[in-house]
């Protein structure tokens, strides 16, 4: 399942909207020590961005399988 365009970088609010979670949840994923969502800053103090490739990998890695498949 590919949700994000791999040639694009997304802001946390765009990630939240696409995955239907809050922006705070996306920031929590980025700060998670055990399983962080990779993010980078556009400049030294700039906005955070997540690459589409990293987002697709994160979604696939953390996908929950339905109990009754």
Task: Give the CATH number of the domain where residue 48 resides.
Answer: 1.10.1660.10
Q: Whole-angstrom Cα distance, residue 9 to residue 55?
A: 9
- pLDDT under 50: residue ranges of the chain: none
Domain count of the fold of the chain? 1
pLDDT at 66: 78
Quote the pLDDT of residue 7: 94
4 within a domain of the structure (yes/no): no
- What predicted TM-score, i.e. pTM, was given to this entire model? 0.84
The span from the CA of 51 to the CA of 25, in Å, is 17
């Amino acid at each position: 399942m590919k949700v994000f365009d791999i040639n694009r970088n997304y802001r946390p609010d765009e990630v939240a909207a696409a995955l239907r979670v809050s922006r705070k949840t996306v920031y929590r994923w980025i700060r998670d020590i055990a399983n962080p969502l990779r993010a980078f800053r556009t400049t030294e103090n700039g906005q955070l961005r997540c690459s589409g490739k990293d987002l697709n990998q994160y979604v696939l890695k953390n996908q929950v399988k339905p109990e009754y498949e």
